[in-house]
Amino acid sequence: MVDDFEILASNARIILDSRGNPTVECDIFTSYSMGRSSAPSGASTGKTEVSAFPKGGAAASIEFFNKNVKKAITGFNALDQKGFDELLREIDGTDNFSAMGGNLSTALSIACAKAVSNGMGIPLYRYVGGMGISVPEPLGNVIGGGQHARNGTTIQELLVSAEGKTFLESITVNSKVHRRIGEILQDRLKGQGIGVGDERAWVAAIKDEEAIDIVLRAAKEISSETKVKIRVGSDFAASSYYKDGKYVYKDHTFTKDQQIDFAISLIKERGFFLLEDPMDEGDFDGFAAITSAVGSRGLIVGDDIYTTRADLIRKGIEKKSSNAVLIKVNQVGTLTSTMEAVETARMAGWKNVISHRSGETTDDFLAHLSVAFRSYLIKSGTVGGERLAKLNELVRIQEDLMD
């Protein structure tokens, strides 16, 4: 059995992500199986996440692979995922994968797990998650801007999450909200200045407050049409508009205290159920002020503040900075480190929200990991092929689990 999972060969190549930028795809071959995976890229990256590529970009990653990785992983037992991930760290030799790039390590790490699950003839979610797994609810970006678009809102993402009876019903209702928002914007702007961002959320030349009103209105309308409960939330990605101690929106500027009050008001007065990165990534205390004010009424999710790092999540737990964490594999670069982050959050009673990146590939490993990690939500857009690759896979997984 062990011999069957010896790595016999591997490849790394450049493919394009959904923005048309180069990223890395890897194949790992064992005697009877193959695993293939590709890594996405972010636009609003956290300061503490690993670098996606070394100096020289994706091409330098491939060069590093051919020179330093290919031979070193040949003969390694793919069943030992932890050992494989440690080996990648050793080969890289830096503390942030800056020699090989976090996207290469991510693609290799996931390809290794896929080679084993394929060889065993079990789904990736079962191999990584064992028993007691569950299907998350979808959380999808419907209107926004920030680093994902020009001329959109300052807030990066306004999100919806339908609570359907099945995953299919939930994603169907989320996409109906997306469509309704398109109609409302068309009516309001007569086609002038409307577009879509990197994740296919609507982008429009309107103020943040108006975008919030439109999402709440569309969610209410679609909810009464479909009789499905729809929750509204937001990823402020606040680090991207934090300048000189202030939060600079396109039409006004907030002090730190005003930003905290604004975040709390969205939950307490506008009925938002979730806020991600409401404060700058360094502001653990600002996060904590919001988390304690909203109590159990809202999920405060940390993305850029933790960058899927167990040590930073531990700091957040000590400071009570949030009650949930965003999980992105390529922020830390290996499956093992990601599992440590998920486990650290779980032990503190935090929920995890697994997430796509703005520059995605059609790899659906995220769907499998969302089930393996018992994620409360999966953030993977509402429409668009690379987003639906994950969401549609969850329709199949739910079918599997119901058999």
Non-local CB neighbours of 97 within 8 Å, separated by 6+ positions? 50, 51, 89, 104, 105, 333
> Is 141 a residue that touches ligand PGA (CB under 6 A)?
no
Which range in 18-26, 174-182, 354-362, 386-394 contacts ligand PGA by CB under 6 A?
354-362
Identify the burial level of 240 via C-beta atoms within 10 angstroms of its C-beta, where 0-12 means exposed, 13-18 middle and 19 or more buried.
Answer: buried
Residues 252-311 that bind Zn ion (CB under 5 A): 303
Query: What character string, x for contact with ligand PGA (CB under 6 A) and - otherwise, covers 95-134?
Result: ----------------------------------------
The Cα 85–Cα 7 span in angstroms is 14
Smallest gap, in angstroms, from Cβ of residue 42 to ligand PGA?
3
Which range in 38-46, 76-84, 244-252, 255-263 contacts ligand PGA by CB under 6 A?
38-46
The Cα 347–Cα 310 span in angstroms is 11
Q: Which of 10, 38, 45, 170 binds ligand PGA (CB under 6 A)?
A: 45
- For residue 304, give the 3-state DSSP assignment: coil
Give whole-number Cα distances, 248 to 193, 215, 238, 252, 279, in Å. 22, 22, 9, 6, 12
**Are the CB atoms for 305 and 312 separated by under 8 Å?**
yes
Q: Which of 235, 280, 386, 393 binds Zn ion (CB under 5 A)?
A: 235
| Active-site hit among 199, 360, 386, 393 | 199
Question: Residues in contact with Zn ion, total (CB under 5 A)?
Answer: 2
33 vs 147, which CB is nearer to ligand PGA? 147
| Active-site hit among 25, 137, 157, 328 | 328
Concatenating the DSSP letter of every residue in 232-280 gives EEEE--GGGGEETTEEE-SS-EE-HHHHHHHHHHHHHTS---EEE--S-
CB atoms within 10 A of CB 120: 16
Going by their DSSP bridges, the two strands 34-38 and 194-196 should be labelled as unpaired
> Is 43 a residue that touches ligand PGA (CB under 6 A)?
yes
Residues 225-254 that bind ligand PGA (CB under 6 A): 235, 237
> Is 44 a residue that touches ligand PGA (CB under 6 A)?
yes
The Cα 195–Cα 205 span in angstroms is 9
Residues 297-326 that bind ligand PGA (CB under 6 A): 303
Which range in 162-170, 200-208, 294-302, 355-363 contacts ligand PGA by CB under 6 A?
355-363
Q: What is the CB-side half-sphere exposure of residue 159 using CA atoms within 13 A?
A: 27
Smallest gap, in angstroms, from Cβ of residue 117 to ligand PGA?
26
- Catalytic annotation present for 256: no
Residue 358's binding partner, choosing from ligand PGA, Zn ion, none, with beta-carbon cut-off 5 to 8 A by kind?
A: ligand PGA
Smallest gap, in angstroms, from Cβ of residue 380 to ligand PGA?
11
45 vs 334, which CB is nearer to ligand PGA? 45
**Residue whose C-alpha is closest to residue 104's, from 31, 41, 198:** 41
61 vs 147, which CB is nearer to ligand PGA? 147
> Is 338 a residue that touches ligand PGA (CB under 6 A)?
no
228 vs 367, which CB is nearer to ligand PGA? 367
- Catalytic annotation present for 328: yes
321 vs 358, which CB is nearer to ligand PGA? 358
116 vs 366, which CB is nearer to ligand PGA? 366
The Cα 50–Cα 48 span in angstroms is 7
**Residue whose C-alpha is closest to residue 277's, from 231, 249, 242, 317:** 242
List the beta bridge partners of residue 230: 162
Sign of CA pseudo-dihedral 121, 125, 129, 131: negative
> Which residues of this chain interact with ligand PGA, rule CB under 6 A?
42-45, 147, 235, 237, 303, 355, 357-358
> Which residues of this chain interact with Zn ion, rule CB under 5 A?
235, 303
Residues annotated catalytic, as ranges:
199, 328
